[in-house]
Amino acid sequence: MWGGGAKSGGETRCKCKCRCTTRGNSRTGESSSHVARCPAMYPAGPAWPKLRVLRALWTLLAVLLAPWRLWAKEDIQECIWHVVLIKFEAVGEEGRSDRFFDLEPLETLDSVFSLLVDAPTDQNEKYLGFPYYLKINYSCGGESSEAQVRKGHLTGLKPLVLVTFQSPVNFHRWKIEQLQIQMEAAPFRSKERCNAEEVCAMSWYTPMPIKNGSVVMYVDVRSNGLGPFIQNKRFHVNINGFLQKQQDNTLQFTVGNEIFNLIPRYFINVPSRPLWHTVNQTPVLILGGIPDEKSVLLTDTSFTDFFLVELNIDSCWVGSFYCPQASFTATIYDAIATESTLFIRQNQLVYYFTGTYVTLHESNQGSGSWVRVLANECIKKLCPVHAHGNGSEYIMALTTGKREGYVHFGTITVSNYLAILYTIPEFIPDARGLEFLMLLGTESHTTFLMVPKGMFYNQYSNLLYIWGNFLLQSYNYENFIYLADFPKEQSIKYLVNSFRGDMAIVTETEEIWYLLEGSYRMYKLFPSRGWEVHINLQVMHQSSVYTPNETMVTLFYEDTKLYQLVYLMKNQQGQLVKRHVPVEQLLMYQQLSNHYFFERQGSHLTLSFTNFCPFSVMRLRDLPNPQVYSRQERYQARPPRVVEPSGFHNENSLAVYQGLVYYLLCLHSEYHKVDAWRGPGLVRGGPYADRVHDSTWSWSNKKQDQDYYFYLASNSQSPGNVYIDMASYEKIYDLKADYELPERIFLDKGTSYVFSVFLRVGGQSLEFTPERVLTSEELKSTVDLGVVLADPGCIEAVVKQKFLINRNSVLFRVTLSDKRSCFDQGLSGHHLLETSMLLKVAGAVGHCFQNTHQGPRMQGNLMVPVLIGCPPGKRLAFDITYTLQYNRLQNKHYFDCVRVDPEMPCFLFRDVFYPFFLIQDLVTGDSGSFQGSYVLKVVGGGPTLDTIREYSEEEIYRFNSPLDKTHSLIWTTKNTTTTKDSAFNIMSHQSLGIEWLCLENSPCYDTVPHTIFAPEFFFKVLVSNRGVDKSTYCDYQLILLLHIHGLPLSAKRAFFILMVSSSVFVGLVTLYIIFCLLLPVMVKAWNSLRWKINNIIMSESYYTYTSRNCSGTPETRSTVSSRVGSSASSKVAEANQRAPEQTWKKKPLVT
């Protein structure tokens, strides 16, 4: 009934109408290894029944075990979301889908934002946009209908989109953060011609944001709760750095040429192969193994769609004595994808190709072509390292030939020998009917040889697996456990792991096995009775992803779910599809089909099933808010409202949405940057901090005028017919737990995560009969909860149980805590210790399932990764507000600089300086006083901002160390606590303050004032808690500027200034006295001179006047002459009389 399996002697029996043959293993090129080959394909499912009549029991089981949603199909249609990526300029075009490769921001939004005069936007700001939109639709019953989408819109349906940016590998270049942005899709009419008055076709659109350092994005789409019921769905929207645009605007792969014809021989009778990549970090996946072709399958959507690409590599190899090569083939045997680089092995040659990722490398240059590495080595195998670490990714290359046994690790340039970890027994142990067996060296063995083929390590659970025709697991690399459920007649080909507690195994005969980590029971998924029931149900569904002729290409996990890539043959047409492997359904079908019985009730028999699950209800309770532990930052951005009654957006309103989302993420990026040269007003998030901090602080002023903008919108007066609600663009700090454990838990030093597990016993009967109340002893013997810790020396778990007898339930209170012992100190998000916690309900593995609208879900086992160290999103900041308050209180006064700078307050030199610092949590928005210890050092300074210089290590020691004997100290403190080497003082929030010294050999000594005011100095201060703080794992480091004024002068310079000042003062007094003594003489001389001048002027005037009138009558002339003469003589007499009088009045001043 099933495809044949290999016997121990190498002979194979296939139940098909053909003659079986054997041939060499094409995967290794070795003729000594044989596998069965039949013209029929390797099945990914059972042999499809033609006209066979199923047994009555199996028919009954297929009906009884069908999900409940089959019965409600007439009432609730199954609807699914569809998301495609389109270019900015292609909005509204139907039937278009673009690839994600263009990363340049759009600069064409200024014309749109310039129209928004009376709007909460900044006209001086340059708004940019992202180059792509997400186009969202949905279909019901497998058919997309314009009428369905219109109905959803008219009933209030709005898709909610959550974009999650995956953190980069290289935390040395990029900040580690868990960032999300939640958007509401905007409805938009199609641009195609339509005879209807309002709308024919429509879709919803949101901007597709891009973030520096991230090339992997997850797009989760869900409904707002109105309209039809549509299940939530996740899409992988990744950047493809292996595409380039040609001159005719077409796209072409840089790694090779695309092949548009999937020839059946590429997949038929071809064994499946593993999909190797760095978990959760790889935007582009590749899969080799296509026989006799240097081609790979390439995808940037996790095989939602894919491409067949022929690689442009030079396939030339000549065997030698040092590197024997029996035969040549073009097949790409090993293919590994990392964050930005692809690795392949062809024959014994290794190549790599680096993609063009501007968001990662800040450069537009990729490899350009395949680069060969390890040219002098014979490589027989490339092996992946699934997890990244220390800011890097790794692969391993195993050599053959002369250098057999060498391993090239990491950047594949350094060679090392493999150390002996464990000596595998020669023969397979005899488990004697047990599920597992601890290998102690005293056990008996069978006659089957142990043939190891590979190893797998899970860095979260610390589980090491060694596999071949057996499976061994170990927690400490020393003591190994043999899992006896796996048949020794089979041989494992590869393993796939979800890193969340699930693992699937593929054998050489394409069997699929399942193992839940932490347990020892293995389940055969294919072929199995459960699989047969599942196939029968798919026949009832008339599913298009299951056919009688199919071949499994690969098996892989995606978001904790197991998927197959399967090649289907239907009506002589081949198709490569990705389909979900329903592990829970298969286990449930298999369990019920193996444990049923008939009960006689009266005169007839009743079919009953045995329920092995120890509980009926399992719930998580008292879950804390997740952001504190998951470190997930989330922003919210809703589209601007349009004035149009139909609610449809236009291109301008969508462009405004693009610009606002781009600007929001820019504010986030700027807020996370620490600027040591500015205070809180210019750059929030710098070293000067306030207790209330938010990345959207620059929009706070705009929110004050929100009522005015709403008034304009209410009267259809909004500019551009767009109303921007500033409350729609914000950071969310109060996310609530969604009745499940977070995706990951970050624990700082001594912190704990507390939650409860509620288990109810019984209560599944459909009969309305009183339920028997169990005693506490019965409850205790029925259900029990265990916690498995991967690193019990680093974390501990305390479980307290409470019996709820009146409800037949048990409430377990679980406290997971850090033990303060396994981590030193590190930067925020760097070098975290990866471990895990596994919750297990005794007897629940493979027996307990919960029915949901998405199908059954396994219960009783919960695995959560735990990361120990400094959580991302925490930083140290200078608490300038409280520092000013406390200094004013302690010093009884506060004197700021003469020229007040609100961005950088001054502190007086002669006052004791009391600094205080904050711990800012950028994820939750909390700020708290830093209670730990720290070391303060002055590492630079200058009399002005332009003259600040960095000090050398030797200068830093002299200026800050209490051991300095060169009279170079800048500051001192009365604290007696110092570092271990007594080189520096240790400060805390309870310190006695800092006294400024500026001794004679310090740079601030004898600062020359540039004005009449006292000298000033800017100190560049480094604050660090590394090595001195035992309250946290975080290695905080802060650099800030302190402005100190009122510095004293040196004695020599002060004396010099005193002498100069005294000399100037004495000189001025002397000049004043001399001036006072000479003033009367000078006045007298001046008066005498003025009198003589007046006499001369009067005399000339007289004679001139006389000469002019000499031609008149004698009488007249005599009369005038007498009058003039008398007048002149009288004026002269008066002048002579006043002069002695004035001289007499001045005499008392000079005596």
Predicted local confidence at residue 161, as pLDDT:
97
- Angstrom distance (rounded) from CA 465 to CA 452: 11
The two most distant CA atoms of the chain are separated, in Å, by 180
218 — pLDDT class (breaks 50, 70, 90): very high
Predicted local confidence at residue 199, as pLDDT:
65
- The segment with the largest mean pLDDT, out of 51-60, 489-498, 1121-1130, is 489-498
pLDDT for 1103 beyond 90: no
1026 — pLDDT class (breaks 50, 70, 90): very high
For the chain, the average pLDDT equals 83
Predicted local confidence at residue 375, as pLDDT:
81
pLDDT for 869 beyond 80: yes
| Sequence-separated (6 or more) residues with CB below 8 Å from residue 967 | 999, 1000, 1001, 1002
pLDDT for 2 beyond 50: no
φ and ψ of 588, to 5 deg: -65, -45
Report which of residues 768 and 722 the model is more confident about: 722
Q: What is the pLDDT of residues 622-668, one digit of tens each?
A: 999 999 999 999 999 999 999 877 889 999 999 999 999 999 999 88
Q: Helices 529-541 & 56-64, crossing angle to 10 degrees?
A: 70
Q: What is the pLDDT of residues 203-214, one digit of tens each?
A: 999 999 999 989
Write down the H helix ranges in 141-210. Answer: 146-154
What's the full length of the chain, in residues? 1151
337-343-349 Cα angle (round to 5): 160
* pLDDT average, residue stretch 755-775: 74
Yes or no: say if 687 and 878 are a contact pair by the CB < 8 Å rule: yes
Reduced to 3 states (helix: H, G, I; strand: E, B; else coil), residue 406 is strand
* pLDDT average, residue stretch 900-925: 91
Tokens of 824: 């030193």
Write down the H helix ranges in 475-568. Answer: 529-541
pLDDT for 217 beyond 90: yes
Instruction: Tally Cβ neighbours within 10 Å of residue 920.
Output: 23
Predicted local confidence at residue 43, as pLDDT:
40
- Angstrom distance (rounded) from CA 926 to CA 903: 23
Least confident of 34-48, 241-255, 306-320: 34-48
| Residue entry with tokens 């020599």 | 1052
* pLDDT average, residue stretch 167-193: 90
* pLDDT average, residue stretch 120-124: 82
C-beta pairs of 297-303 under 8 Å, 24+ apart in sequence: 297/553, 297/576, 298/242, 298/253, 298/255, 300/99, 300/100, 300/236, 300/238, 300/239, 300/240, 301/235, 301/236, 301/237, 301/238, 302/236, 302/558, 302/578, 303/563, 303/565, 303/578
Predicted local confidence at residue 326, as pLDDT:
67
The strand pair at 745-747 and 861-868 is best described as parallel
φ and ψ of 69, to 5 deg: -70, -15
Yes or no: say if 79 and 228 are a contact pair by the CB < 8 Å rule: yes
pLDDT for 73 beyond 70: no
Q: What is the pLDDT of residues 142-168, one digit of tens each?
A: 666 788 888 899 899 999 999 999 999
The 3-class secondary structure across 374-391, one letter per residue, is CCCCCEEEEEECCCCECC
pLDDT for 188 beyond 90: yes
Burial of 829 per CB tally in 10 Å (0-12, 13-18, 19+): buried
428 — pLDDT class (breaks 50, 70, 90): very high
pLDDT for 12 beyond 90: no
410 — pLDDT class (breaks 50, 70, 90): low
Predicted local confidence at residue 242, as pLDDT:
94
- Angstrom distance (rounded) from CA 486 to CA 328: 36
Tokens of 721: 């017919």
Reduced to 3 states (helix: H, G, I; strand: E, B; else coil), residue 663 is helix
Predicted local confidence at residue 320, as pLDDT:
60
Report which of residues 1124 and 885 the model is more confident about: 885
- Angstrom distance (rounded) from CA 810 to CA 760: 6
- Give per-residue burial for 256-292: e unless 16+ CB within 10 Å, then b: beeeeeeebebbbbbbbbbbbbbeebbbbbbbbbbbe
* pLDDT average, residue stretch 338-363: 88
